[in-house]
Chain A
């Protein structure tokens, strides 16, 4: 159903088909894009959605996802590998073969051993998605903790290009994990240190140059890439894409609206004051796209007060999702389950603590807090120092104060928000977060509640949750294909997590897309994993 809706919604915008669109292609030129922030562009360091957008066309992994709109964009396709992996040993061994004749953007030949090096580099540099590797690949944890000199689960043969990956247990989503840009191959000669300005070479349509951390960078076409002719992987239209950061959404949006900048990154939150203007003055180049993401409040279950279920339930009861939807200018579909609407495994049951549109039960929540002797407990709420997250944080603080907590708000720069809140040593009690599906499997969301995701320095499991029931289900379902019985078990888990109120799910976001009148909007692609596909941008033929 979801896919059908997406297909219908995106039909007028066209679906990527490199050969079919040849007649419309407009090559060359320079475009500009404005971003709200970006992390380190070293592929084995940054893990944000914004980084993924920029790196998708720069660091091609062995497998990648189709450059297509809607559900077609979640399809795994070969990247630098010849074909999809051969899965043997009951799902525990993946064998791939590297394409021949590939070269990095610096001219070095690509070898099978570069994959092993890339994984090792991602582990050593604590790449944001390293928990995926640690929980799946044999020997990844031992390598990261310094107990082994290489990842024992990966063997490569440079002569044949054969790459074998052995898993700890079967994981049906492992092919999707291999599509992360963090596993985009880099040469084995790359330093084992995080690079902020002199980035590693990659294999992709573009090369990242002129990086000024937190300010700007440029994607320049990689002249070598076109001759590899990788099926389904575009070579890009523009010669150059200049990206810059503007932390003020209003000026960023006005710059694109007035054609001073060509593309507004979908990670921006559209300012309410501009919505009617956009709808009237830029209707052909502005739209909001439902995404497979979730916006939620995490509760650290290891420390007070949210180690008490009644504290979490009380907040859930008192929270008004309608208020948050308004703060987000309508760019949120309210919900209560971890998995977004129509996502496989999403619960079909009603929300356990009342309808999402129901009025908040403040008196009931206050009674719960009193009964648990938690009245007056101090709570620090973490959020990003950017609109609308600061306003959302302020609303959350008012909810906590209203039910008897003594809440304070802590806002930090968006550029460091996610790595900071994932640091378990800071003992962060609660905060706002969002996550976008990386692949169409419930594990993409549930790794955020998986105890195996907790590492000493970086824990995407911000709840620090280690619930035996959740853990047992994740261990059991992690490797299985999404058959009806498996989906039913995921649904049960989704219900259980909502009942335990491990997260306060606010809803599922919609992302804005806004282009200048220089960009051929009909040809642009919005990918579910990497959002705006920079390789699809082309100038309007005049």
Chain B
């Protein structure tokens, strides 16, 4: 599979784009400390930069923030609170990518458990799980996420001994992870329904393996290739949904940055400070194209009927 991916230039290019976005985002603390000398939430509303005739307010007296300086400080300009857009962009990337990966991990884990259990056991368990998945599937994913997000964003959530405070990154990750479950669980269940009738499963039963062991040792490895195809798609979808929720104020909560809430906050100033919207927008596009393109490459590499087209 690796050989096939390495021969797929499109997938490699997309992977490289995503890698650049990820590395830039991971470098956020370094940029903040050694280049911009400011944190993502540090406000410089009444500060000035430059000296003499070149001295400028970070935020003007009528609230217009400074544009790109192309220098170490305020490289991409400032937002309405006098915060460095570049620093927030990189920290926002960390938040968006973290939420994307955690949400995708939650989706894949829970969807695999539910899909495999439903498909393997069938009967009443299958009926209950499928009905719940149908219900979730029928509800528009963004509305479902907003509804859950609005409730949890105010109060947080407590599950047994674990408390997740409102404002934690885990909260949008869990919400997004949950609402995406049907999109993976249903195909996995379908695949398990086919696998469970295969002879090698019958053989393991004859050998006396417990159903749980059969699922873990025999069924899950056989759906792993599908999960490998789903994984990058789920990461991309989760990043997009996080951006949408944060834009609407129920994802990553301000003042913490994410690409979505940066777009939401910058939109009222788009005519005078376009970088506040364009920069996170472009990063979002780059990240999603990168992950999706790479994911498509993985799918092609795993497709037994597919061939790499000669270039």
Contact = CB atoms under 8 A, between A and B. Distances in A.
A400 to B, nearest CB: 11
A394 to B, nearest CB: 4
B254 A390 contact: yes
B265 A327 contact: no
A329 B62 CA distance: 4
A330 B45 contact: no
A293 interface: no
A391 B154 contact: no
B253 A272 contact: no
B63 A401 contact: no
A388 interface: yes
Interface in A302-330: 320, 322-323, 325-330
Interface residues of A, number: 34
A248 B41 CA distance: 24
A276 B64 CA distance: 10
Interface string B92-116: 0000000000000000000000000
Interface residues of B, number: 30
A interface majority secondary structure: helix
Interface in B234-249: 249
Contacts of B63: 272, 275, 326-330, 388
Interface string A264-276: 0000000111111
Contacts of A394: 41, 43, 81, 254-255
Interface stretch (A5-13, A76-84, A209-217, A408-416): A408-416
B43 A272 contact: no
Contacts of A391: 80-81, 265
Contact of A408 (B42, B81, B167, B268): B167
B267 A250 contact: yes
A385 interface: yes
Nearest to B168: A408
B141 interface: no
A143 interface: no
A410 B41 CA distance: 16
B157 interface: no
Interface string A104-126: 00000000000000000000000
Contacts of B61: 325-326, 330
Given A320-B46, A397-B255, A409-B253, A273 B270 contact: yes
Given A249-B268, A273-B270, A395-B43, A408 B64 contact: no
Contacts of A390: 249, 254, 265
Given A327-B80, A330-B63, A272 B272 contact: yes
Nearest to A253: B268
6 contacts: A249-B268, A250-B268, A273-B268, A388-B63, A394-B81, A395-B45
Interface of A: 248-250, 271-276, 320, 322-323, 325-330, 385, 387-388, 390-391, 393-395, 397-398, 401, 408-412
Interface of B: 41-43, 45-46, 59-64, 80-82, 154, 165-167, 249, 253-255, 265, 267-273
